[in-house]
Amino acid sequence: MRNGLAVFLSLIILAVSPLAWADAGEVRVGVLAFQGSERAAREWEATMAHLGRMLPDQRFMAVPLDFASIEQALAARTIDFLITNPGSYVALEARHAVSRIATLESGPAEAPTAAVGSTVIAKAGRTDMRGLADLKGRIVAAASPDAFGGFQIIWRELDDLGIAPLPEFRDLRYSGFPMERIAWMVRDGAADAGILRACLLEQLIAQGSVAPHEFKVVGEVSGDGLPCRHSSRLYPDWPFAKLAHTPHDLAKRVAAALLAMPIIDGVAWTAPLDYTPVHDLFRQLKIGPYAQLANPSLRELARRHWHWLAVAALLACWWLVHVAHVERLVRRRTADLKAANTELSRQMLERERAEELSNRHRAERDQFSRLGILGEMASNMAHELNQPLAACINYAKGMRRMLDTGQADPALLAEGVNAVADQAERAAAIIQRIRGFVRRRPPQRGAVDINEVVRETVEMFQSLTGRKSLAIHLHLMAEAPRVIADKVEVQQVLLNLLQNAMDAMAAEEGGITVRVSASDGVVKVAVRDAGPGLSAEADAHLFEPFFTTKPEGLGLGLSICRTIVESHGGRLWAAPNDGRGLTMRFTLPIDHTGTQ
């Protein structure tokens, strides 16, 4: 019924176009020869014969062409119609304004189809290629980069899988036409797999060129009505297209004749189908008329993404406003920070001045403290100096009497001179120790021998106090580690503790014990007396400034001592003895630098 209606339409068209019948001539139909020129001529021979019968005033001739020849023929207008694959048609539609007037139907008469797909083949024994994803890292043969069924259809399937053929195939080899060369490349091992136009494998088997089970289909698809084994989705079959210069009346007559053609040798024609799926393929792959999508112009990008550009413009405006706001806040905060820095600098300067004044006062306080210690021992100091001075006077008077009487014995005079010198040196040593102790100077911390400092301080204390009956027991370490300290400041602390111990034992019997020990990275110096100890009130306020238990004391000695010890990184504290008396202890850090 379909063919009868088509014949009826064709007769009407021919009847209303009598002038066209009068102009007999040759009509050249270009055909894509994907299987070679001879095969193309034979394949379209039935169509050309039918058109000749339906339009007897015209002589139709098939002109086999490859892709390059098609472009040349269109440019030279040497053909009037074109039969090509869907991909080639869509590209030419955009570049040369060709338009389809019919779409190919093929297959058996009872169930013809107007669809085309691709088939991926491999040797039947290959178990390592089941799906299209297994083509990664393989050598794949294709007809041409422009071959629709022979490459581009499978390219889209691979793109859906996230596979890019050129970088992810081991190699992509183009065989050119005829397309059956791909089968021979796979058979000979020149390729692991090949891409054929759907149904070509069945044609090669029917011709006896390929054994029925020689090849397997990779990634086979079924259930879409195509009677051939294939590996892809389906697209509209080959179009019969008129060119831009082809007369409109001739195109209408040819279209009517094609629609009236019955299935001859498995070939027929139907009304032109929608080629939108082919456009979708090209758009996805960014090829053909959509090649500019791969490198779009600024105008194209703006047209395609104007809504995102609008959003970006709004965000940019918001960002400029935000930046301006932030800039204003930064300037305000910078001004506030500059003012705060100025105030901080002023406060730091005042603090430095206060610290400098405090250090000066502390140095003066320490000096006064040392002078106070000497003041408490002033009478004893005078007595201690009187002894060597009196001895010097006695020796000098004796030697003068010997000289006056004329009985001078050189040996006795020499002995007297030596005695005077010894006593003078003794007095000078006492004065030198006192002078070094009270001399104003900045702190000079370094590695010192604690045994030597303690021994020298005890000797000074004994010489200044003049209490020969007061026993001071020294317990020094055999090999005491050196400590980081200022020698004079440590002597000041030790003299204070010894003086306090002696005052506490003014009416008591016993002696003072000075012990040096080391543990836990510090040296400990303990001064133990046998006095009455401390009351609860004295123990609670012992280190507070201006607290004293002495009638004429200032109450600064122990406060200064604690400040000195803590400035050295040590600690000063008091502890009652098990029996009677009190022990004052202080620590100093050991020198770990290796200085000996």
Please give the torsion angle defined by the CA atoms of residues 188, 190, 196 and 202, in that order, rounded to the nearest 10 degrees: 10
What are the distances in angstroms from CA 289 to CA 165, 280, 301, 472? 21, 11, 16, 112
Residues 224 and 332 in one domain: no
Instruction: Spell out the per-residue pLDDT of the chain, length 596, in tens.
Output: 344 444 344 434 434 443 333 345 899 999 998 778 888 888 899 999 999 999 999 999 999 999 889 999 999 999 999 999 999 999 999 889 999 999 998 766 556 678 899 999 999 989 999 999 999 999 999 999 988 988 999 999 999 999 988 889 999 999 988 889 999 999 999 999 999 999 899 989 999 999 999 999 999 998 888 889 999 999 999 999 999 999 999 999 999 999 999 988 888 999 999 999 999 999 999 988 888 877 766 776 677 678 888 898 999 999 999 999 999 999 999 899 999 888 888 888 888 888 877 777 666 666 556 555 555 555 455 545 655 676 677 667 777 777 878 777 787 777 777 767 766 766 666 666 566 555 555 667 888 999 999 998 888 787 666 555 678 889 998 888 999 888 888 888 898 888 888 888 765 667 889 999 998 889 999 999 888 887 777 777 677 766 666 655 556 677 778 888 888 889 999 888 887 888 999 999 998 876 44
Cβ–Cβ < 8 Å for 542, 534: yes
Residues 59 and 130 in one domain: no
Amino acid at 226: L
What are the distances in angstroms from CA 114 to CA 224, 257, 334, 534? 12, 18, 76, 119
**Residue-level pLDDT at 440:** 54
Asked whether residue 371 is domain-assigned, the answer is no
What's the per-residue H, E or C state across 545-593? CCCCCCCCCCCCHHHHHHHHHHHCCCCEEEEECCCCCEEEEEEEEECCC
Residue closest to 472 by CA, chosen among 441, 510, 508: 510
Which of 337, 364, 391 is at the close of a domain?
364
Residues 52 and 148 in one domain: no
**Residue-level pLDDT at 146:** 87
Q: Half-sphere exposure (CA, 13 Å, Cβ side) for 240?
A: 27
Instruction: Give the pairing type, strands 193-197 and 118-123.
Output: antiparallel
Which of 342, 364, 386 is at the close of a domain?
364
Sequence-ordered alpha helix ranges (H) in 406-522: 410-438, 450-465, 487-504
544-583 pLDDT per residue, tens: 766 666 655 556 677 778 888 888 889 999 888 887 888 9
Cβ–Cβ < 8 Å for 275, 100: yes
463-484 burial code (b ≥16 CB/10 A, e <16): bbbbeeebebeeeeeeebbbbb
Interhelix angle 306-376/487-504, nearest 10 degrees: 50
Residues 407 and 422 in one domain: yes
Residue closest to 178 by CA, chosen among 202, 143, 148: 143
In the three-class reduction of DSSP (H, G, I as helix; E, B as strand; rest coil), residue 81 is classed as strand
Asked whether residue 372 is domain-assigned, the answer is no
Residues 326 and 390 in one domain: no
**Distance from C-alpha of 516 to C-alpha of 476, rounded to nearest angstrom:** 5
Residues 314 and 275 in one domain: no
**Distance from C-alpha of 167 to C-alpha of 158, rounded to nearest angstrom:** 12
**Distance from C-alpha of 237 to C-alpha of 241, rounded to nearest angstrom:** 12
Instruction: Give the pairing type, strands 522-528 and 58-65.
Output: unpaired
Asked whether residue 486 is domain-assigned, the answer is yes
Asked whether residue 370 is domain-assigned, the answer is no
Number of domains in the chain: 5
Interhelix angle 306-376/557-567, nearest 10 degrees: 140
8-19 pLDDT per residue, tens: 444 344 344 433
Residues 42 and 190 in one domain: no
**Residue-level pLDDT at 375:** 56
Asked whether residue 407 is domain-assigned, the answer is yes
254-276 pLDDT per residue, tens: 999 999 999 888 889 999 999 99
Cis ω on the peptide bond leading into residue 178 (within 30° of 0)?
yes
Asked whether residue 54 is domain-assigned, the answer is yes
Sequence-separated (6 or more) residues with CB below 8 Å from residue 374: 381, 434, 437, 438, 464
Residues 128 and 199 in one domain: yes
- Which CATH number characterizes residue 596's domain? 3.30.565.10
**Distance from C-alpha of 275 to C-alpha of 236, rounded to nearest angstrom:** 6
- Which CATH number characterizes residue 250's domain? 3.40.190.10
Residues 485 and 570 in one domain: yes
Residue closest to 192 by CA, chosen among 127, 117, 147, 146: 127
Cβ–Cβ < 8 Å for 143, 34: yes
Which of 206, 234, 262 is at the close of a domain?
234
Other beta carbons within 10 angstroms of residue 524's beta carbon come to 17
Cβ–Cβ < 8 Å for 523, 481: yes
Residues 563 and 463 in one domain: yes
Asked whether residue 42 is domain-assigned, the answer is yes
Asked whether residue 257 is domain-assigned, the answer is yes
Partners of residue 193 on adjacent β-strands: 140
CA–centroid distance for 225 within its chain: 55
Phi and psi at residue 198, to the nearest 5°: -55, 140
**Distance from C-alpha of 181 to C-alpha of 35, rounded to nearest angstrom:** 9
What are the distances in angstroms from CA 337 to CA 187, 301, 325, 340? 82, 47, 18, 5
**Distance from C-alpha of 267 to C-alpha of 545, rounded to nearest angstrom:** 121
Please say whether the dihedral angle defined by the alpha carbons of residues 353, 355, 361 and 367, taken in this order, is positive or negative: negative
DSSP character at residue 256: H
Quick check: pTM over 0.75?
Answer: no
Residues 434 and 345 in one domain: no
**Residue-level pLDDT at 301:** 67
**Residue-level pLDDT at 501:** 85
Residue closest to 62 by CA, chosen among 48, 74, 50: 48
Sequence-separated (6 or more) residues with CB below 8 Å from residue 479: none
In the three-class reduction of DSSP (H, G, I as helix; E, B as strand; rest coil), residue 478 is classed as coil
Residues 382 and 487 in one domain: no
User: Containing domain of residue 328, as a range?
Assistant: 296-364
Cβ–Cβ < 8 Å for 158, 135: yes
